[in-house]
Structure 1
Amino acid sequence: MTFNRDEAKLREEICVTGASLYQRGYTVGSAGNISARLADGWLITPTDACLGRLDPADIARVDLAGNTVSGGKPSKTLALHRGVYARNATVQGIVHTHSTHLVALTLAGVWSEADVLPPITPYYVMKVGHIPLLRYRRPGDPEVAQQIAELAETVRGVLLERLGPVLWERSVSHAAYALEELEETARLWLLSNPRPAPLNAAALDELRHVFGARW
């Protein structure tokens, strides 16, 4: 099957991103999913696919009505992805993994439900921002998709209790970058003893003023 240049590039970006995340242990087995916006629908990884072994031709192509046009069976989280795209026109890519330290954070206890981690590093503040916790529901639960859609315009992502992060951004690559920064911050937080203090109000204000940080 042949694809136009833009779609072929997006398929390749999904595969490269998936392989990178898998190789570095951000996801294991067939966990996680990635999607990208098209002018007339979306690309999304197939259900039960290993992100480390994606074939560009197997990535599901879905039309605006949610019907599969080509490729494998879409991930069971398709409704979640569609809800974010419908609510936020700037979003071009979404990444969901079961990253170890972020899942562990939900088991050990997040900083708060509105902010799963405190603002302990400048890059966490600039590249990620506020990330709320969504309490556990089974994978693919439509209620989760609705909850996430309602947050799509105000944050860059959410953390699903016992399941892991969902991040959205202006491209698949940028969504993965934000997810990686979130996972690294969780790792730093869990490994620190005593826990570090958050950046103070003056430091946060400077990051907002100089870099346009959303905190």
Structure 2
Amino acid sequence: MSAIDELLAAGVRVVEEGLSPGTSGNLSLRDGDRILLSGTGVSLGRMRPEDIAVLDLDGRVLDGAKPSKEWPLHAAFYRRDDRHRAVVHVHSPSTVAVSCLEPWAEHSAVPPLTPYFVMRVGQTPLLPYRPPGDPGLGEDLRECPWELRAALLANHGSVLAGADLGEAVDRAVELEEACRITLLTSGLARRELDADAAAALARRWSSPWRERTTLSAPRR
């Protein structure tokens, strides 16, 4: 399957999973020093090859459609870690709702309620609010001091990375479910995974996770 075909198939999947209402959200693949990114104003479930933009890692358009204004988020993930080869940004309902709440901890807006969230996604910090398309969104992601492969954008949505689009979309689905469970149990006497259980899962599955702390986030 070509990179374009992968993007089109992933777009259909995120819509079928209920993660991308309307024309919201964007997807990308890294191809060497190029980013193949969904174009602006298009439903991800109805993308065609001509709806894909080709950019360099600095956001310069090389070919194709007008890129999504959220390209700084995608470039930031690729700049953070060469292992990230695909990025998904969506406005799925539960992740947006949790992004409007105060975070559970500095390193993760989402609490460790299920093993699958810790295993498949890992700590998911809340980045500060900025208007959609603000280049500062990318700067915040690049400079975030926590190890991560997912983040919530305050009052906005989520952004996740993976080794390929299948992995990135899987993480988006798992994060939406973790946020849904967070909302369902909010205000109740719920049980979170204890620190030892979460740490053991993180070690086994090579997932980013640290113990909850009230200390300020470290600076790079």
Determine if the TM-score, normalized by the shorter chain, exceeds 0.5.
Answer: yes
Q: Which of the residues 201, 205, 208 maps onto 1:207?
A: 201
What amino acid is the match of 1:98?
H
Separation (CA, whole Å) in 2 of partners of 1:205 and 1:68: 42
Give how far 1:204 is off: 2.1
Separation (CA, whole Å) in 2 of partners of 1:80 and 1:20: 21
Separation (CA, whole Å) in 2 of partners of 1:186 and 1:16: 25
1:66 partner SS = coil
TM-score by length of 1: 0.88
TM-score by length of 2: 0.87
Q: Report Cα offsets for 1:23-75 as digits up to 9, x if no partner.
A: 23211111110111011311000011111111123211123453323221011
1:36 partner SS = strand
Determine what percentage of the aligned residue pairs are the same residue: 37
What amino acid is the match of 1:139?
P
Residue 58 of structure 1 corresponds to 51
Maintained 8 Å contact 1:119/1:125: yes
Separation (CA, whole Å) in 2 of partners of 1:190 and 1:170: 29
Give how far 1:21 is off: 1.1
1:158 partner SS = strand
Number of paired residues?
208
Separation (CA, whole Å) in 2 of partners of 1:79 and 1:210: 32
Maintained 8 Å contact 1:87/1:152: no
Equivalent positions of 1:51-90 (< 5 A) are: 51-90=44-83
Residue 42 of structure 2 corresponds to residue 49 of structure 1: yes
Identify if the C-alpha distance between structure 1 residues 148 and 16 changes in structure 2 by more than 3 Å, giving closer, same or farther: same
What amino acid is the match of 1:208?
A
Moved over 4 A (4+): none
Give how far 1:191 is off: 1.3
1:120 partner SS = coil
Identify if the C-alpha distance between structure 1 residues 169 and 106 changes in structure 2 by more than 3 Å, giving closer, same or farther: same
Residue 160 of structure 1 corresponds to 153
Which of 194-203 and 9-18 deviates more?
194-203
1:131 partner SS = coil
Residue 173 of structure 1 corresponds to 166
Residue 125 of structure 1 corresponds to 118
Separation (CA, whole Å) in 2 of partners of 1:73 and 1:204: 42
Any unmatched runs of 5+ in structure 1? 1-7
What amino acid is the match of 1:191?
L
Separation (CA, whole Å) in 2 of partners of 1:214 and 1:67: 31
Which of 200-209 and 83-92 deviates more?
200-209
Maintained 8 Å contact 2:72/2:137: no
1:48 partner SS = coil
What amino acid is the match of 2:43?
C
What amino acid is the match of 1:71?
G
What amino acid is the match of 1:202?
D
Q: Which of the residues 5, 11, 18 maps onto 2:4?
A: 11
Any unmatched runs of 5+ in structure 2? 210-220
Which of 89-98 and 203-212 deviates more?
203-212
